[in-house]
Structure 1
Amino acid sequence: MGASPQSGGMAQAVEVENAEGGGPFVFVCDHASNFLPPPYDTSLGITEADKIAHIAWDPGALGVARGLSRALDAPLVFTTVSRLIIDCNREETRPDLIPCLSETTEIAGNRDIPAAEKDFRLNLAHRPFHNAIDKVISQRLERGVPTAVVSIHTFTPVYKGNSRPWEIGLISENDRSLADPVIADL
């Protein structure tokens, strides 16, 4: 199973770069890393190939996010552990917060974990990630800096057997004020 809340010793699972950046964006990268700290590196029941595949992270997303952060003088908040431990792009109540199935791969070590383990993982990465984003945004709002949050992801060209030929994807909810001009420029 996973680490116990008493095990300690794990590295920081969230990092913030350029927190004081003055550009109009805050970049977040929830799937920046495929790192599986002990004991997760051996306890999830996945192969070495799975550990470097899209199911474990968004390959290339952190590089893109860092490049945008530097070019646009924007803060960047990112995770340093794999989404197979906990998916920081999910609400705490989602059943796929700790995935038992990622695309078509079973994650046996995530099945039937005890509540204490779920809470440990929430406190390891999920809550610190969202707290870091909230802190960066709050500080910017206090300084009166215009802020648009942009989450950087990559996607696999084949998902569950279906081809995904797109080079760029933009996802937004109801507010299209950023997405539509970007699409028009592309």
Structure 2
Amino acid sequence: MASNSNPRVEASLLIDSDPSPVVTVNPGGRSPFLVIGDHAGNVIPLSLGMMEIDSRDLCRHIAWDIGVAGLGLALAERLDAVFIRQTYSRLVIDCNRAPGSVDAMPAVSDGTIVPANAALTPEDRTARIDAIHVPYHRAIADELARRDREGQASILVALHSFTPAMSGGPARPWHAGILHDGGDPSFALALLTALRREADLVVGDNEPYRMDQVDYTLPLHAYPLRRLYAEIEIRQDLLADEQGQRRWASILERCLLAASATEEG
């Protein structure tokens, strides 16, 4: 079901034994939903070693969006959707940030120092952008172009997960949140309504984060042509195992289809 056929940009950052920066699950899926995972992986290129951080940090929210890879796979299966996911840790480069922004390669993340990012040269930054950021966004753009050529509708669904509490911060009460801002937010709002109809769920509207100029992926791929979209945040303790991921895939399948029917109506 998965394909690693996206061409890798040759750069000194990645070597032959490193995995492709992009994985496309269920290529050719006929659903209108194009599911994307900016932070689905936590791999570090071999050339960077451990980036001078503890190996345990790679399992934390600072390194990736916990549970998104499994959730995206389950949604692809349930919806016959294409799922495009990024392989490498957001500590290497955050693909939901403008490549030139300081926080695309953070020197500190939720209080944890990332020494390998403290003094990056312009050449270091360019290598990460060319090897990971560019091919990931090219894969999304190419998939959208293919669908447009073939007359296949596209609704972008960006999957993210959030920690139950930031370091030293209060517990977050939401089970999930729907983020939206510019372009055409009508689908995101319809999805928010559908999720709030689910029993026992606390669903935030632009919570726990507000979608703004910091986000990169949806503003790049959805806003200019006013494509329908939604950015979904799910609390990470609810996606910590396969059972939780399957449960949320079922919830999202139901709500995504309901929101899509609302748009068609």
Normalising by structure 1, report the TM-score. Answer: 0.92
Deviation of 1:57 after TM superposition, in Å, equals 0.5
The reply to whether residue 15 of structure 1 matches residue 23 of structure 2 is yes
SS at match of 1:153: strand
Sequence identity, in percent?
Answer: 32
Q: Distance in 2 between matches of 1:54 and 1:150?
A: 20
2:138 paired residue number: 131
120, 124, 132: which is aligned to 1:117? 124
174, 179, 190: which is aligned to 1:181? 190
SS at match of 1:170: strand
Cα distance change on mapping 1:181 and 1:7 into 2, 3 Å: closer
Residue segments in structure 1 that go unaligned for 5+ positions in a row = none
Question: Structure 1 segments of 4 or more deviating over 3 A?
Answer: none
Normalising by structure 2, report the TM-score. Answer: 0.65
57, 68, 86: which is aligned to 2:75? 68
One-letter identity of the residue aligned with 1:91? A
SS at match of 1:184: helix
Q: Indicate conservation of the 8 Å contact 2:34/2:156, yes or no.
A: yes
Deviation of 1:53 after TM superposition, in Å, equals 0.6
Q: Indicate conservation of the 8 Å contact 2:14/2:131, yes or no.
A: no
Q: Indicate conservation of the 8 Å contact 1:17/1:77, yes or no.
A: yes
SS at match of 2:70: helix
Q: Indicate conservation of the 8 Å contact 2:32/2:155, yes or no.
A: yes
One-letter identity of the residue aligned with 1:32? A
Q: Indicate conservation of the 8 Å contact 1:5/1:116, yes or no.
A: no
Tell me whether 48-57 or 174-183 shows the greater mean CA deviation: 174-183
36, 43, 46: which is aligned to 1:28? 36
Q: Distance in 1 between matches of 2:161 and 2:179?
A: 12
Q: Indicate conservation of the 8 Å contact 2:13/2:131, yes or no.
A: no
Q: Distance in 2 between matches of 1:57 and 1:77?
A: 15
Q: Indicate conservation of the 8 Å contact 2:38/2:94, yes or no.
A: yes
Q: Distance in 2 between matches of 1:41 and 1:58?
A: 21
- Count of residue pairs brought into register by the alignment: 182
Q: Deviations over 1:19-58 (max 9, x none)?
A: 211111111101111112313232x221122111110001
Q: Indicate conservation of the 8 Å contact 2:42/2:63, yes or no.
A: yes
SS at match of 2:104: coil
One-letter identity of the residue aligned with 1:21? G
Over aligned residues, Cα RMSD in angstroms? 1.6
Tell me whether 175-184 or 58-67 shows the greater mean CA deviation: 175-184
- Match runs of 1:161-172 below 5 Å: 161-162=168-169, 163-172=171-180
Structure number with the bigger relative contact order (C-alpha 8 A, sep ≥ 6) is 1
Residue segments in structure 2 that go unaligned for 5+ positions in a row = 1-10, 196-265
The reply to whether residue 54 of structure 1 matches residue 64 of structure 2 is no
Deviation of 1:6 after TM superposition, in Å, equals 7.3
The reply to whether residue 107 of structure 1 matches residue 117 of structure 2 is no
SS at match of 2:49: helix
Q: Indicate conservation of the 8 Å contact 1:29/1:153, yes or no.
A: yes
Deviation of 1:7 after TM superposition, in Å, equals 6.5
Q: Deviations over 1:99-118 (max 9, x none)?
A: 11111111111111111111
Higher helix fraction (1 or 2): 2
SS at match of 2:102: coil
Q: Distance in 2 between matches of 1:176 and 1:7?
A: 37
1:84 paired residue number: 91
Q: Distance in 1 between matches of 2:29 and 2:160?
A: 21
